[in-house]
Structure 1
Amino acid sequence: MKNFSRCLRSASRSVLVLVGLSALSAGCAVTPPKKDIPAVSPRATFLSAPVPMVRKIPEPRVGGFAFADVAKRAKTLAGASYEDSAKTAPKAFTDIGYDQWRDIRFISDKALWKKEGLPFQVQFFHPGYLYSRTVQINVIEDGKVRNIPFSKDLFTYGLNHPEGDLPVDLGFAGFRLHAPINRPGVYDEVIVFLGASYFRAVAQGQRYGLSARGLAVNSAASSGEEFPAFKEFWIVRPEASDDQITLYALLDGPSVSGAYEFIVKPGKETVVDVKVRLWPRRDIDKLGLAPATSMFYYDEHSTLEAKHLDFRPEIHDSDGLFFALGNGEKVWRPFVNPERLMINSFHAIDIQTYGVLQRDTVFDHYQDLETRYDARPSLWITPTPQVDDRIWKEGHIEIIQIPTPNEFNDNIVAFWVPQAKATKGQELTYSYRMRWASPESGYAMAYADSTLLSMSPDRKNRKFIVDFKGKAIEALPAESKVDAELSVTGGGRIVEKQVLKNEVTGGWRLVFAIEQEKRPGLAQLIPGFENVVELRACLKNGDEVLSETWSYAVEF
């Protein structure tokens, strides 16, 4: 079935913090007919498969203590003033460095459920270094809760020499689940919960890359960001025949308390179904749901000088954001390493899915045998409304991109912000599915395979080469009347545009150049003011939209 439409305006707002710019860009819509912790594929083929909006999440087989009990605790916490009751590691462990902390290793033979031969095993992290705050970890067996006491006997300490005993109620820094995800009988890491509300997972054959969080509160806000933390976990003992495992978490912070249910199913893609109930203690200006955190240093379109000083052509855990809306619009936004803090928001109605992706999975584009950026997972977020879908109905996707001088710190944050503000005393209930997987979009439309960029010495002109691939355009002969709908907003104008068949890839190439426009008034008086230009483009054949919308923010 062909898709016919014009390119419709999709609200995008870009802000360079310090200069206060806002700009609008557009997208192409179609009328509807979607640091490593070790673990172990060329650029992905994009398949034609629908992405369902509503999924039936399997109910875990649990008697006795369950998600409702965690929710009661969260609601009780929210009804009282916030109290940080987390225990911390002794000073001997908080003052050590990363290498010393990594030298403290869990003894794998003491993994939870290893002797029982169950399909999942649990290993624990010792508190220390940056992970000095501890969490309590429990297991649920036959509906009854059993706490896992801390013990030095669970660890080897390497060159560290701790003195004296540590309390059994100290807790752990976090934990990780292991399963035979890559080879039968070999239990590799599947998902890790470590630090505040952070966690990350891998699918078969992948290595750890981007992370997720339980919640983002006032990220990049003038009031300061808040990091609520998981303070207690309950892990449900699996049956011998189970291919998934259920765990619960209690979250608490100054502004909000919450209960989480995670159902983890590892495999060729690792699926995590998440159910959440939140109770704000106070009004929250910006509540970010299903946050993802990643690192982007540079790739093929970067003009960073460091790119020419490193043998690796690209360095990133993720290279862009994809999202699909209910009106058929699909958008790809390549990440940048900006000169100043950059915040982008995309207004969305009826969000179908969004993903922080590592779309480029070709080893030759990284040439790094140690970090294997080519094997990092993509993370897809799909709302799974069960009762109330208003939280996902309208809002915006926000991307925060932070300047970074290296690859050692995460500098990308993306999350969903509902249109309605979270207010004190209300209950928020929502659910979503996470797929830690390949970057396959599941859509038949052509996609932006690569973005290349050059600029003039005075930085006032930019030239872009965007290569599109996909079955939707590869069958079109070179004489086809393929064109691009291209828009520039925020102080730039198009000086060149060309669309041509790429005889090497079989796809189509968009080449265009823009130059910075002189802007009157305040923009001329304040250096750096209004120096972000928003671009968007999609390929069309007459009225037929052939590709996703390529969207980009240019700093002049």
Structure 2
Amino acid sequence: MTDFPLLVSRKRLRASRVLLSALALTVGLLAAAPASAFDFFDVTRRAKALANEKYKAPSSALPKELRELKYADYQQIRIKPDRQLWADGRTTFQVAFLHQGMAFDLPIKINEIDAEGVREIKYDPDDFDFGTRKPDLKQLKNLGFAGFRVFHSFGDRANKRDGELASFLGASYFRVAGKGQVFGVSARGLAIDTAVASGEEFPRFREFWIARPANNDKHLVIYALLDSPRATGAYRFTINPDEDTTVQVRSRVYLRAPVGKLGIAAMSSMYLYGSAQPSSAANFRPELHNSDGLGIRAGNGEWLWRPLNNPRRLASSSFAVENPRGFGLQQRSRDFRLYEDLDERYDLRPSLWVEPEGDWGKGRVELLELPTSDETNDNIAAFWVPESPPKPGAALDLNYTLRWTRNETALADAKLARVLQTRRSTGETRGADQIRRPDGSIALMVDFSAPVPAKPKDPPLPVSLNFSTSGNADVLENSLRRNPVTGGWRVSLRLKVKDPAKPVEMRAALVNGQNPVSETWSYQLPGYETGE
């Protein structure tokens, strides 16, 4: 008799626990429903619908006073700290909205996703500090935002603004940084007809949705809707801050009309001068660039390194790649003494590496180098171009991870020798009197690290040089010798160009027998460097 009531109470207890669990689950689902009700496919539906509509060009209402600002004056315009998104400090992220000014003269719509649903963040000029300028706020009513910046504590919750994590400003450009990094190379959502004679089209992010992170979330999710005369697109960016900050990109692109060149995972950077192209004027800074080369990991296993140039006219290089495994603009030179710039800290600027997800098929990585006379202009562009772009109305789904890093060694194959530096100078020969004199040639010194033997205790691999040119130069010297300082190998080249109007293409790699044991050094000597 006594066991029966106990049995009943246990059953009731279990039933109560099941009921409570079910209620808790239901409440949790109901609480999460509004936030999870908006996802990537909501943006894709908007992008598809937009692609079926006629393109409507955005209009600018920016007053002349703000349009003609100098960059230093534009930087003074800042949102007030208490008006930032998530200024309550409950997350390790904060969002600071950017005001329109200068060429940033088109409004974008920004929304927040939280547990209550989706709400638009309205622009209010009273939220901004305009510095020394006092514009008429009535003229700015309903102007709209130009973009936004994201700050992150990088693990230190007591310091909410110790790092600028990301910036979305202008067209489809955005920049990201890891802990201890300084903004440099920019990513782009999409590039269309870059450096095509008919003119480039600049797709722009017209609307964003920023998901409020949970208190303990270590990542931030941002959705974006892209629009341009011939393309629309949906994007989801999952930003993971760390020493290497990664951005997982999910994208779906629709074309309104055919395009000549579709640039996927596009990026832009700046190269003014460096060891491969010394400055023509005296400067206390030995090198000045955000990136010094393009790296490619091809689907067939080849690794390639292409040092950058600052040409006097547009230069284009194309690398056929099927199913790329990685590519990006890198800043391999990390020694501060190569820059000596305490303000810009080019030694802290990250490399940007694209890691494609799945097979992208046939295509090419394209590198564009444009002339620039100062460091304020991005003159380098790189992107992947699919061999067969989608037909208008069809969806192109390509996903990839962007890695912003200062650890370029981790991106490489540890067994292969890497290019450590490329140095260029006037070619010289040593006379009988042991004095070196110019001989009208161009000299190149390329340092490779040492290839790693198969086993740690094996002797260093014997190597030889595999070198080739495009045929527009006579090779006066082509030698390989050990570099006792680095423990690697030095390639010494001297060339005389045949046709100064044409570039010279070169490739070099270390081989052990027939087997490559280094990445491939690929270089273009622009025509102007040969006397044009």
TM-score range, shorter chain: 0.7 to 0.9
Could you tell which deviates more after superposition, 295-304 or 331-340? 295-304
Query: Is the CA contact 2:244–2:405 (under 8 Å) kept in the aligned structure 1?
Result: yes
SS at match of 2:153: strand
Is the contact between residue 137 and residue 171 of structure 1 (CA under 8 Å) also seen in structure 2?
no
Q: Report the Cα distance in structure 2 between the residues aligned to 1:101 and 1:381, rounded to whole angstroms.
A: 32
- Contact kept in structure 1, 2:452 and 2:460, CA below 8 Å: no
Letter in 2 for 1:173: A
- 1:430 is matched with which residue? 398
The alpha carbon displacement at 1:72 in A equals: 1.1
State how far apart, in whole Å, the 1-side matches of 2:134 and 2:444 are.
57
- C-alpha spacing 1:476/1:335, structure 2 compared with 1 (3 Å): farther
Q: Which residue of 1 aligns with 2:103?
A: 130
In structure 1, stretches of 5+ residues that fail to align are 1-59, 519-527
Three-state SS of the structure 2 residue aligned to 1:165 is helix
User: Which residue of 1 is the match for residue 295 of structure 2?
Assistant: 322
C-alpha separation in 1, matches of 2:460 and 2:301 = 28
Tell me by how many angstroms 1:182 deviates.
6.8
**Partner of residue 420 from structure 2, selected from 440, 445, 449:** 449
- Conserved 8 A contact 2:369-2:379: yes
Aligned to 1:361, which of 299, 318, 334?
334
- Please list the CA deviations of residues 99-120 of structure 1 after superposition, one character each: whole Å capped at 9, or x if unmatched: 2211112222332112142121
From 244, 247, 266, the counterpart of 2:219: 244
Correspondence 1:401 to 2:369 = yes
Contact 2:35 2:118 in 1 (8 A): no
The code of the aligned residue for 1:219 comes to T
2:328–2:382 CA contact under 8 A, matched in 1: no
Which residue pairs with 1:88 in the alignment? 61
Q: TM-score, normalised by structure 2?
A: 0.86
Paired position in structure 2 for 1:512: 493
Q: What SS is found at the alignment partner of 1:472?
A: coil
> What does residue 32 of structure 1 align with?
none
* Match of residue 370 from structure 1: 343
Equivalent residue letter for 2:65: A
Q: Supply the RMSD in Å over aligned alpha carbons.
A: 2.2
In the other structure, the counterpart of 1:275 is 250
Deviations 1:451-501 (A, max 9, x none): 111224999522211111155279899996421100011411322122111
Matching of residue 233 in structure 1 with residue 208 in structure 2: yes
Larger helix percent: 2
Letter in 1 for 2:344: T
Alignment of 1:171-190 (within 5 A): 171-181=144-154, 183-186=156-159, 187=161, 188-190=163-165
- Alignment match of 1:79 (pick from 29, 45, 52): 52
Contact 2:234 2:253 in 1 (8 A): yes
Q: What CA deviation, in whole Å up to 9, does each residue of 1:402-454 have, x standing for no partner?
A: 01111110100000000103432221111110001122323111100001112
Instruction: Choose 258-267 or 96-105, whichever is displaced more.
Output: 96-105
Change over 3 Å in CA distance of 1:473–1:370 after alignment to 2 = farther
Q: Secondary structure at the match of 2:494?
A: strand
Map 1:43-62 to 2 at 5 A: 62=35
Report Cα offsets for 1:48-83 as digits up to 9, x if no partner.
xxxxxxxxxxxx995112211111111111111110
| Residues 365 and 79 of structure 1, relative CA distance in 2, 3 Å threshold | same
Contact 1:490–1:532 (8 Å) recurs in 2: no
Look up the SS of the partner of 2:496 in the other structure: strand
Match for residue 483 of structure 2? Answer: 502
* CA separation of 1:254 and 1:490: change in aligned 2, threshold 3 A: farther
Q: Which residue of 2 aligns with 1:30?
A: none
What SS does the aligned partner of 1:181 have?
Answer: coil
- Identity across matched positions, percent: 39
Matches within 5 A, 1:191-340: 191-306=166-281, 309-340=282-313
Do residues 467 (structure 1) and 438 (structure 2) align?
no
How far apart in 2 are the matches of 1:258 and 1:165? Answer: 34
Question: What displacement does 1:132 show?
Answer: 1.4
Deviation at 1:85, TM superposition (A): 3.2
- SS of residue paired to 2:46: helix
CA contact (8 A) 2:220 2:240 kept: yes
Contact persistence 1:298–1:336 (CA under 8 A)? yes
Kept in 1: contact 2:34–2:117 (CA 8 A) = no
* Cα distance in 2 between the residues matched to 1:435 and 1:480: 32
Task: Assess if the C-alpha contact under 8 Å between 1:120 and 1:177 holds in 2.
Answer: yes
Residue 272 of structure 1, CA deviation: 0.2
Note closer, same or farther for the CA distance 1:512–1:167 as it changes in structure 2 (3 Å cut). Answer: closer
CA contact (8 A) 1:316 1:407 kept: yes
Q: How does 1:413-424 map to 2 (within 5 A)?
A: 413-424=381-392
Distance between the aligned counterparts of 1:185 and 1:94, measured in 2?
Answer: 38
Checking the alignment, whether the CA contact within 8 Å between 2:453 and 2:460 is kept in structure 1 is no
Counterparts of 1:182 and 1:64 in 2: how far apart (Å)?
A: 29
Structure 2 residue 464 is the aligned partner of structure 1 residue 483: yes
Question: Match for residue 100 of structure 1?
Answer: 73
Question: How many residues end up aligned between the 2 structures?
Answer: 480
Letter in 2 for 1:443: D
CA distance in 2, matches of 1:479, 1:245: 46
Relative to 1, partners in 2 of residues 1:329 and 1:476: Cα closer, same or farther, differing over 3 Å?
Answer: farther
Counterpart-to-counterpart distance in 1, 2:482 and 2:157:
46
What TM-score do you get using the length of structure 1 for normalisation?
0.82
- Which range moves more in the overlay, 132-141 or 435-444? 435-444
The separation in 2 between residues aligned to 1:153 and 1:243, in whole angstroms, is: 31
| Deviations 1:499-551 (CA, angstroms, capped at 9, x unpaired) | 11111111111112222236xxxxxxxxx54x211000001222332210000
Q: Does structure 1 conserve the Cα–Cα contact (< 8 Å) formed by 2:451 and 2:517?
A: no
Please list the CA deviations of residues 374-414 of structure 1 after superposition, one character each: whole Å capped at 9, or x if unmatched. Answer: 000000001113xxx4xx21100001100111111010000
Q: Which sections of structure 2, spanning at least 5 residues, go unmatched?
A: 1-32, 429-437
**Cα distance 1:343–1:93, how it changes in 2: closer, same or farther (>3 A)?**
same
